[in-house]
Amino acid sequence: MIDPKILRTQYNLIVENLNKRGYPLQFLENYKKIDEEWRLLLNEVENLRAKQKQLTPKGKPTPEQLQELSELSQTIKTKNDQLQTLEKRVRDAAYNIPNLLSEDVPKGESDIDNPEIKKWGTLPSFSFEPLSHDVIAERLDWIDFERGAKISGARFSVFKGIGSKLERAIISLMLDTHTKNGYIELSPPVLVNTDSLLGTGQLPKFAEDQFKIQDTDLWLSPTAEVQLTNFYRNEIIEETKLPIKLTAYTACFRKEAGSYGKDLKGLIRQHQFDKVELVKFVMPETSEIEHEKLLNDAEKILQLLEIPYRIVKLCSKDTGFCSAKTYDIEVWLPSQNRYREISSCSNFLDFQARRAMLRYKLGNTTGYLHTINGSGLAVGRTFAAICENYQQEDGNIKIPSVLQKYFS
């Protein structure tokens, strides 16, 4: 959520940002209308309270004074109830306005306009036609897509045997690496409440992509970003304890609304998938450098696995709703002859912190933290990248050397 002072006093800046994002102005105009209505009513209530204070006699009140004070008190109560309703509407309206983009986010229309800022590794060459990861894994009996669909429906899968062991090894490598780099590992629930999804920005904007548990206030988590960020919701953290770095492996669940017809086969776009998440809570003045460090922590996994990748900076219309700036790490998939996203590393500034009331204390002052997160990495896509980049002519997969200790 954007600072209300900025929303009220820098209207043209918000308009410029929304136009750069290609985001409709109607949400900003709706917010402005409701906020003005709220401020007018607030002023009216404050004036009525001042009048009430003036009319309150120092001695014993007369019947007329009691009657007037009683009527005034009832009016204040009615107006105050209206004020609370409007206050909620103002907050709800603010929830629909995206974050302000950082100044260095390039203007662009789609992912085609995302500038490449780094390439790492050498693309593999094969003496045969490389196969896709789903074909390889099914032939090796490492994944059963058909029975996954039988159990749960389309876009579900079952890892088997060596496939399950490889998946577990990937997760262990990620968690071991990140904890060595100072991240605290959590094992959170996969069910989250509405307040948690509001805090990180999945609600209300992306409700159609979430799985809701009927007759409860619980949802299946779309990413451990939700659990990790909300771990400190409504808390004030001493500046001396910052930065705080958290990591977690969880199953994640998304409806993938709007993606029908895309990546129907394989592990790229599943309704349930595994991911290791990285989240940082930092002081505002350090968030830019801490964002770069988190990016380095995420890409370290692909370096250890010796899989080629590149990093792109997302352009204005490709940057997510809550993010001020995002880098995508894209891993090389030989069967597609292209790089595919495996991690998004974003700096949210104080956008999530205002929604989740995440604050720091420095001396006698408090302020909103900055939050940063990224996948470290998506497990299924890492599995796919290993299968494709390490495939052999005889149909087998060479296990990356960094993972072999997990197979002993």
Q: Is the pLDDT of residue 339 over 70?
A: yes
pLDDT in tens, 209-239: 999 999 999 999 999 999 999 999 999 999 9
Q: Do 118 and 83 share a domain, yes or no?
A: no
Domain final position from 51, 66, 94: 94
Provide the number of structural domains found in the chain. Answer: 2
The alpha carbon torsion through 289, 294, 297, 302 (nearest 10 deg) reads -120
Q: Do 144 and 24 share a domain, yes or no?
A: no
In a domain, 99, yes or no: no
| DSSP string for 35-90 | HHHHHHHHHHHHHHHHHHHHHS-SSPPPHHHHHHHHHHHHHHHHHHHHHHHHHHHH
Q: Find the largest Cα–Cα distance for the chain.
A: 101
> Considering the chain, what percentage of its residues have pLDDT values greater than 70?
99
Domain final position from 94, 124, 157: 94
What pLDDT sits at residue 83?
A: 96
Q: Do 89 and 117 share a domain, yes or no?
A: no
Which residue segment(s) compose the domain that 330 sits in? Answer: 111-407
Q: Is the pLDDT of residue 259 over 80?
A: no
> What average pLDDT does the segment 304-322 reach?
98
Domain final position from 94, 121, 154: 94
Q: Do 181 and 280 share a domain, yes or no?
A: yes
The structure's pTM equals: 0.94
Q: Do 51 and 165 share a domain, yes or no?
A: no
Q: Is the pLDDT of residue 384 over 70?
A: yes
In a domain, 128, yes or no: yes
Domain harbouring 195, CATH code: 3.30.930.10
In a domain, 181, yes or no: yes
In a domain, 349, yes or no: yes
- The beta strands (E) that lie in 283-364 are given as 309-313, 325-333, 338-347, 358-362
Q: Do 171 and 301 share a domain, yes or no?
A: yes
Contact (CB, 8 A) for 255 and 210: yes
Distance, CA of 311 to CA of 299 (rounded, Å) = 9
Q: Do 132 and 44 share a domain, yes or no?
A: no
In a domain, 104, yes or no: no
Q: Do 88 and 184 share a domain, yes or no?
A: no
In a domain, 106, yes or no: no
What pLDDT sits at residue 59?
A: 83
Q: Do 298 and 395 share a domain, yes or no?
A: yes
Pairing mode of beta strands 211-212, 309-313: unpaired
Q: What is the mean pLDDT of the chain?
A: 96
Domain harbouring 55, CATH code: 1.10.287
What pLDDT sits at residue 185?
A: 98
From the CA atom positions of the chain, what is the Rg in Å?
A: 26
Distance, CA of 111 to CA of 315 (rounded, Å) = 7
pLDDT in tens, 1-35: 999 999 999 999 999 999 999 999 999 999 999 99
